[in-house]
Amino acid sequence: MNNSSNKKIIVKLFLLALIVFAADCKNEKLDTINKTATENSTSDRRKDSLKTIKSDTVTIFEGLYIINKNTNSFRDCRYPDSLYMVNDETGNLKKSYEKIFSVKNVYGSVYARFKGEKKATDGINSEKYPSTLYVKEVLQLEKKNFRNTCINYEFWALGNEPNWSLQISKNENIIEFYDMAENKTYYYFYEEHVDEDGAIVYAAHNNIQRYTIKIRIRKERCSDTMSDTGYDYSAEVELSNGKKFKGCAIKGKEQ
């Protein structure tokens, strides 16, 4: 074989090698593009998944909201024995609360519904409030009454001439009496009742307000003189300042 033929063979082999090399490079580039596209797709799916998870953590809470001395707290209807600390990111809970309670107090609660997230509490309050609710949107807030409260009570009493109301709740650890004529609320820590001459009797003392309250509830037909509504219990309330009130009572659900 002459030198000319050898050169032609070498040139052909060289060209063939270039073609193979170019094809490999193209395939490698395609693999890289496909891999990048797959990774981007996976990343997008993860982001969408995280968005879904984050969205799913926002839920509707319903219960009783109260502004305490140092913290805001919430008692959930679903878990009445648990207290949550509240971080009101909207500021609307506090504004609406202060419209209902113009005079600052550390006992008065309101019925509230809002959208929010529950997270573990950090810092010194974590022992008392293991979880904190972060409020995103306030849906409803109004003064608590026997129709809207979802936390069970033992008795809710009402009277008129003068108008007054009374709540007795072991779940909330409170006896709350409201004198509408004075626009004044008397708060007491819950005390167990005693049976006395056929009546259910509650007695409590508030060391700060320095008032004692005594309540007698009897199972007997009672009528609201304003609306002629009938009730199964009557109620009498006596304060240590000498004021006495009469009305009817509603018994809460058995626990």
Q: Per-residue pLDDT tens for 116-139? A: 999 999 888 888 899 999 999 999
Q: Count of CB atoms within 10 A of residue 238's CB? A: 15
Sheet with 211-223, edge to edge strand ranges: 184-188, 174-179, 164-169, 155-159, 244-251, 230-239, 211-223, 199-206, 194-196
Q: What is the largest CA-CA distance in the chain?
A: 134
pLDDT digits (tens, 9 = 90+) for 57-76: 889 999 999 887 778 899 99
Q: What is the rounded average pLDDT of the residues 70-85?
A: 88
Separation between Cα atoms, residue 67 and residue 110, nearest integer Å: 10
Q: Please give the pLDDT value at position 205.
A: 96
What are the CA-CA distances from residue 93 to residues 65, 125, 160, 218 (Å)?
8, 20, 31, 38
Identity (one letter) of the amino acid at 227? S
Cite the DSSP H helix spans in the chain: 3-56, 92-100
Q: What is the rounded average pLDDT of the residues 202-210?
A: 91
Separation between Cα atoms, residue 219 and residue 225, nearest integer Å: 18
Cβ atoms of residues 241 and 211 within 8 Å: yes
Q: Please give the pLDDT value at position 214.
A: 98
Separation between Cα atoms, residue 146 and residue 223, nearest integer Å: 17
Q: Count of CB atoms within 10 A of residue 194's CB? A: 10
Separation between Cα atoms, residue 141 and residue 184, nearest integer Å: 21
Q: Exposed, middle or buried by CB within 10 Å (0-12, 13-18, 19+), for 38?
A: exposed
Q: Please give the pLDDT value at position 46.
A: 45
Q: What pTM was estimated for this model as a whole?
A: 0.71
